[in-house]
Amino acid sequence: MTGDLPLWVTIPGTLLLVTGGLVTLIGSLGLLRLPDFYARMHGPSMGTTIGTATVLLASLLVSSAATGRPVIHELLLTVLVVMSAPVSSMTLLKAARHRAVQRLK
Amino acid sequence: MSPATTLATVFANAVDFAQLCFAIAMLFATVRLVRGPAAQDRVLALDTLHVNGMLTLLTLGIRSQSTAYFDMALLIALFGFVGTLALARFLLRSEVIEP
């Protein structure tokens, strides 16, 4: 399966995948365990930023080594996630604040 | 066993580890989705769930070295963003599209 990958893929790929998996897991644990909604907003954004960046970089390395030429179409997904994650989290935060204010009235 | 073969085995184990981490993260997000006290907690849990699903598809693509999984990950990212945005707009204004 992955027996023919060169060294410049396996060593950084291992580090990137382990880092991304652990960071995403810690972020989702924060989503489960933190006490407040505004605190819970912080956890999953770790997975959205660092997790996506590391896994996309590892995928870029592996597909570049597998096809034998530089593959950059993973950058498309990076651009999409970078542009969409702040928009959705800011809209969600605004909605939560709006609901809290409406409940106080 | 040569060092390159050993490192390839370590890399395959790293892919397994990352997939296990994403699966446990999706489990946590599902628990928050079911339990969540307010509606915005559920929307946030759904957002986490689709990001983790996208990362799982990317690791599947790394494992099988095919580009078909990348297109699925792109579609999940796109539709997940639109869904989260629509739900957040609904919580903010009580309607998705302004009249």
CA B24/CA A2 separation, integer angstroms: 24
Q: Is residue A58 a contact partner of residue A11, using CB atoms and an 8 Å limit? A: no
H or E element, residue A101: helix A74-104
Q: For the segment A43-52, what is each residue's pLDDT rounded down to a tens digit?
A: 999 889 999 9
Does pLDDT of A67 surpass 50?
A: yes
Burial class (CB within 10 angstroms; exposed 0-12, middle 13-18, buried 19+) of A94: middle
Closest by Cβ to B21, choosing from A10, A22, A96? A22
Looking at the domain covering B3-93, what would its CATH class be? mainly alpha
- What is Dmax (Cα atoms) for chain A? 65
Q: Is the ipTM of this complex over 0.85?
A: yes
Residue ranges of domains in chain B: 3-93
Q: Which of residues 7-46 of A touch B (CB under 8 A)?
A: 7, 9-11, 13-14, 17-18, 20-22, 24-25, 27-29, 31-32, 37, 40-41, 44
> pLDDT class for B20, splitting at 50, 70, 90?
very high
Tokens of A64: 């570049």
Q: Is residue A28 a contact partner of residue A44, using CB atoms and an 8 Å limit? A: yes
Q: Pick the closest to residue A21 from B46, B38, B77, B16 (CA basis).
A: B16
Average pLDDT, chain B: 89
> Dihedral, CA atoms, B62, B64, B68, B69, nearest 10 degrees?
-50
Q: How distant is the Cα of A53 from the closest Cα of chain B, in angstroms?
A: 10
B10 CB within 8 Å of a chain A CB: yes
Q: Pick the closest to residue B54 from B22, B31, B30, B32 (CA basis).
A: B22
